[in-house]
Chain A
Amino acid sequence: MTTTPALPTAGARRSRLPAFFVHLLRLLASLALTFLGLTVVTFCIGRVIPIDPVLAVVGDRALPDVYERVRMELGLDLPLYQQYWNYLVKLLHGDLGTAVLTARPVLEDLMRVFPATLELATVAIVIGVVFGVPMGVVAATSQGRWPDHLIRLTGLVGYSMPVFWLGLVGLLVFYNALDWVGGPGRLDVYYEDIVAPVTGMLLIDSLLSGDTDVFWNAVSHIILPAGILGYLSLAYIARMTRSFMLGQLHQEYILTAQIKGLSRTRVVWRHALVNILVPLITVIALSYGYLLEGAVLTETVFAWPGLGRYITFALFNADMNAVLGGTLVVGIVFIGLNLLSDIAYYLVDPRAR
C-alpha cells in the first residue's frame, strides 16, 4: 500500500504538476492506441459483411466492366492495409460515410442523436449514484442483518432484469395503467420543436429558454426510462460500494477514528468513504458505460431518438456505415470515460501523485 517512508524534501509539492502532465501524456498515448485498435475492429467488421458491397451498388445483373469500375471507385482493388489507411484518414476527417436512411453524413446524424442518449444516461447515472452509494454504505455497515440482505437482493434482482422487458412492463404499469409518467418519446407531440436546440438536451434547453411546461413534460418522459436505467446502475454501484466499504471497515485507521471518539456516522462517511473514492470512480465510469449499452435497448422500447435507436434502425436497414459509425462513437465515449476516471484518480488519491 505505501512506499518506503521517505523523508519529504522541500519543494516536493511543486514537482507534482509536471509529473501529472507526463502521466496524462502516457495515458493519452495508450488511449490513442486503443482507439486505433477500435478502428481496426470496425474496419474488419465492415469487411466481414457477406454482402459484396460492389453488388450492393451495381446490382447483380451488372456487366463485368461496370463491376470492375465500381470496384475501383470504391477502392476495393487496393491492398487491405491501404484500404484501412484510407478508412482511417477519412475517419479522422470526420467522414464516416453516408447514412442510407437519412442520406446525410453519418457524423451529422450522430451529432443529432447523441445528446438524447447523453441526457438519458446522465440522469440515470445520477439516480444510480445518489441511491446506490448510500445503499452500499448501509449494506456494509449493517452486514449480515436485514438491511444488508434486502439491499443485496435488490441488487441481484437489478442485475437479472432484462432491461427491454422492464421498460415494457414499466410503460404498461406507470403509463398505461397509472398515468403517472409520460409515454414513449422525449416529449408529447404538441411540445415538440418549441425549444431551440442549444445543447440537444431538452432538460437544459428548455430551462435556458424558460419554457417550464416543456421542461416538466420532458421530465415526465425521461423519468421512466432513466429510472429503469438508474435502477440497473444502482444495483451495480450499491454492490461495489458495499464490497469496497467492507474492505475498509476492517482497516486499522477505522479503529483509530473510533478511539478518537468520533461518531459512527463520521467514521463511516468522513473516514471510510473517502478511501474508496478511487475505485468508486472506476465503478461509476464503468456503470456509465453499461448505461450506454442499456440505452440501446431502452431507446427501442421508449422510442427515444438517441444513439441506440439510431444504431438499431441502421442495423435493420443494413446500413453498415451508420452502424459502424455509431459503434465507433460508443467506443470513443468509453475511452473518454476511461480517461476521465484516470484523471480523477490522480486528483483524488494523494498516493497516486
Chain B
Amino acid sequence: MSEGPLLTVEDLHVAYRGRSGPVPALRGVSFIVGRERVGIVGESGSGKSTIGLTILRLLPQSASVSAKRLCLHDTDLMAASERAMRSIRGRRISMVLQDPKYSLNPVITVGRQIAESYKVHSGASTREARRKALEMLEAVRIRDPERVFDLYPHEVSGGMGQRVMIAMMLIPEPELLIADEPTSALDVTVQAQLLVLIDELIRRRRMGLILISHNINLVASFCDRVVVLYAGRIMESLKASELAAARHPYTQGLLACRPLIDRAQPELPQLTRDPSWLDAPDESRRGTGA
C-alpha cells in the first residue's frame, strides 16, 4: 500500500479548438484523490467530462492541455509517452462511461470485450481470459455468466450493460476508477443497485473513485468528498458530510434546487448564476486522503 495521494491535479487548464479560437473547458482546476470516493458535481458544460478524458490523455489532438502537476502517484501523466499511457489506461486508471448502448462495441460479444481487457494487460491466453471474464461477470452480480458471455450488447438491458462495462474496466485491477455519469442512462431502481455494486467493488479492491455527475444528491450520498465545478473552475471542495454547511452560493443553490419530498415547498427555487463566479479565484481546498 502506497502512501500519499493516488492522483494529483494542480492548476489544470484545458481548451478545445473552436471555429473562432480556443474554447476553455477547464480553467485552473486542482484537486487530489486518494483511496477514497470523490464526487465531481457540475451542470452540463461545466467541464466535468473533460476531467476524465484529460486524466487518461484521450482528448482530441486539437485540444490544448497544461497543468502544473498531473500525476498518478509519481508518474507524470503529462509527460508520459503514448506507449506509457497505453499501459496506464485500463491497468492503473480506468473509466466507466454513461450509456452501454453506445459505449460497447455492438458487433462483439460482451464476454469477449471483457476478456480483451484482461488479455491486453496480462498477455494471458484466450481460455484464461475467458475464465477471468466469467469470474468478473459473477463479481458484478450477473447471474448465468456463461450465457451472458456470448450475448451482444443489444441483447442485454441497460443495467446489465453497465455491469458489463464495470466488469470490463475493473478486470485489469486498476487503482483509480473514473465513473462518468454511470447511472444517468438507467432507470431509478437500477441506479441504486449499480451504485451499491460499484461501492462494494471499490472498497474491496481499495481503489480510488472519481464519480462525475450532475446529480448532487447522488454524489452527496455516495462519496466521501464533493468537488463542485462551474464553468471550468472549482467553486467549492468539501467533505460530503459537511455539505449542508456549504459556503459557496452556487453549491447552496444546487442544494436548494433539489425537490424535497418530506417538506412543503411553495416554489422550487431556481439556480441563479452570478457572472462573478466565472472569474473567482481558485477555491479548491486540498482534501486529505481518507
Closest A residue to B104 using CB positions: A253
Is the C-beta of A3 less than 8 angstroms from some C-beta in chain B?
A: yes
Say how far B125's CB is from chain A's closest CB, in angstroms: 17
Q: Mark B76-106, 1 if CB is under 8 A from A, else 0.
A: 0000000000111111001101010111111
Contacts known (A251-B102, A351-B154); A261 close to B120, Cβ less than 8 A: yes
Given the known A-B contacts A8-B151, A259-B89, A261-B121, are A1 and B101 also in contact in the complex, defined by CB atoms under 8 Å? yes
Q: Could you say which of B108, B151, B169 contacts A259, with CB atoms under 8 Å apart?
A: B169
B139 within 8 A of A: no
A259 partner residues in chain B, CB cutoff 8 A? 56, 58, 89-90, 94-95, 97, 169
A5 CA to B162 CA in the complex, in Å? 13
Whether A255 is near chain B, meaning CB under 8 Å from some CB there, is yes
| Residue A48 is within 8 A (CB to CB) of chain B in the complex | no
Give, as a whole number of angstroms, the nearest-CB distance from B39 to chain A. 20
Q: CB within 8 Å of B: which of A1-16? A: 1-3, 5-8, 10, 12
| A303 on interface, CB distance cutoff 8 Å | no
B156 at the interface (CB under 8 A from A): yes
Size of the chain B interface, CB-CB below 8 angstroms: 39
Q: Are B106 and A2 in contact (CB under 8 A)?
A: yes
Q: CB of B155 within 8 A of chain A?
A: yes
Cβ-defined contact, B86 with A261, below 8 A: yes
Which of chain B's residues 122-178 have a Cβ closer than 8 Å to chain A?
A: 147, 151-158, 160-161, 165, 168-169, 172
Complex Cα distance A1/B106, Å? 10
Interface residues of B in 51-74 (CB under 8 A from A): 56, 58
Cα(A276)–Cα(B58), bound, Å: 23
Interchain CB contact (< 8 A) of B101 among A2, A262, A271, A277: A2
A260 touches B116 (CB 8 A): yes
A5 and B156 within 8 A (CB): yes
- Let me know if A271 and B105 touch, CB within 8 A: yes
Given known pairs A8-B156, A252-B97, A255-B58, the reply for A260 and B103 (CB within 8 Å) is no
Expressed in whole angstroms, the minimum distance between the Cβ of A235 and any Cβ of chain B is 27
* A255-B58, A351-B154 known; A275+B168 contact, CB < 8 A: no
Chain B residues with Cβ under 8 A from A262's Cβ? 86, 116, 120
Residues from chain A with Cβ under 8 Å of B102 in the complex = 251-253
Residue of A nearest to B88 (CB): A261
In the assembled complex, the CB of B80 is this many whole angstroms from the nearest CB of chain A, namely 13
- Complex Cα distance A5/B106, Å? 13
Q: With the chains together, A277 CA to B158 CA distance in Å?
A: 26
Return A347 CB to nearest CB of chain B, in Å. Answer: 12
Contact, CB under 8 Å: B117 / A253: no
Interface string of A262-287 (1 = CB under 8 A from B): 11001000010011010000000000
* A351 in contact with B168 given A255-B58, A260-B120, A262-B116 (CB within 8 Å): no
- Which of the residues B87, B106, B156 comes within 8 Å of A261, measured between beta carbons? B87
B260 CB–A CB distance under 8 Å: no
Closest to A258 in B: B58
Cα distance, A279 to B86, chains bound together (Å)? 31
Residues on the B chain within 8 Å of A266, using CB: 120
Q: Which of B91, B103, B121, B152 contacts A351 (CB 8 A)?
A: B152
In whole angstroms, how far apart are the Cα atoms of A266 and B108 in the complex? 14
A253 & B103 in contact (Cβ 8 Å cutoff): yes
A191 to chain B, nearest CB (A): 47
- Tell whether, in the assembled complex, residue A258 and residue B89 are in contact, meaning their CB atoms are under 8 Å apart: yes
**Choice from B86, B107, B158, B160 contacting A275 with Cβ under 8 Å:** B107
Q: Which residues of B contact A263 (CB under 8 A)?
A: 86
A79 in the interface (beta carbon within 8 A): no
Q: Are A275 and B91 in contact (CB under 8 A)?
A: no
B187 to A: closest C-beta gap in Å: 11
Please report the C-alpha to C-alpha distance between residue A266 and residue B90 in the assembled complex, in whole angstroms.
Answer: 15
CB-defined contacts of A5 to chain B, threshold 8 Å: 101, 154-158, 160-161
Complex alpha-carbon distance, A41 and B143, angstroms: 59
> Is A350 interfacial (CB-CB < 8 Å)?
yes
| CB-based contact A260/B106 at 8 Å | no
Separation of A6 and B158 alpha carbons in the complex (Å):
9
A216 to B165, CA, bound (A): 54
The smallest C-beta distance from B82 to any residue of chain A, in angstroms, reads: 8
Verify B154–A3 contact, CB threshold 8 A. yes
Complex alpha-carbon distance, A351 and B155, angstroms: 9
With CB as the reference atom, state the residue of chain B lying closest to A278. Answer: B107
Contacts of B152 in A (CB 8 A): 350-351
Q: Taking the complex as formed, is A256 at the interface, i.e. its CB lies under 8 A from any CB of chain B? A: yes
A274/B156 in contact, CB under 8 A? no
Q: A1-B101, A2-B101, A259-B56 are in contact. Are A351 and B106 (CB under 8 A)?
A: yes
The reply to whether A275 and B157 form a contact with Cβ atoms under 8 Å apart is no
User: Do A350 and B116 have beta carbons less than 8 Å apart?
Assistant: no
* Beta-carbon contacts under 8 Å, B165-219 to A: 165, 168-169, 172
> Which residues of B are found within 8 Å of A350, using beta-carbon distances?
106-107, 152, 154
Contact A260 B107 (CB under 8 A): no
How many Å from the CB of B111 to the closest CB on chain A? 13
Which residues 86-129 of A sit at the B interface, judged by CB distance below 8 A?
none
Chain B hits for A12, CB < 8 A: 155
- What CA separation (Å) do A256 and B96 show in the bound complex? 8
Chain A residues with a Cβ under 8 A of chain B = 1-3, 5-8, 10, 12, 251-253, 255-263, 266, 271, 274-275, 277, 349-351
3 shortest interchain CB distances as A-B pairs: A261-B90, A261-B89, A2-B154
Please give 8 more A-B residue pairs, beta carbons under 8 A apart, in addition to A255-B58, A258-B56, A260-B169.
Answer: A1-B101, A2-B153, A5-B156, A256-B105, A258-B58, A259-B89, A260-B120, A261-B87
Give 18 A-B contacts (CB < 8 Å), ordered by A residue: A2-B101, A2-B106, A5-B154, A6-B157, A252-B99, A252-B103, A253-B102, A258-B56, A258-B58, A258-B89, A259-B97, A260-B94, A260-B117, A261-B91, A261-B120, A261-B121, A271-B105, A275-B106
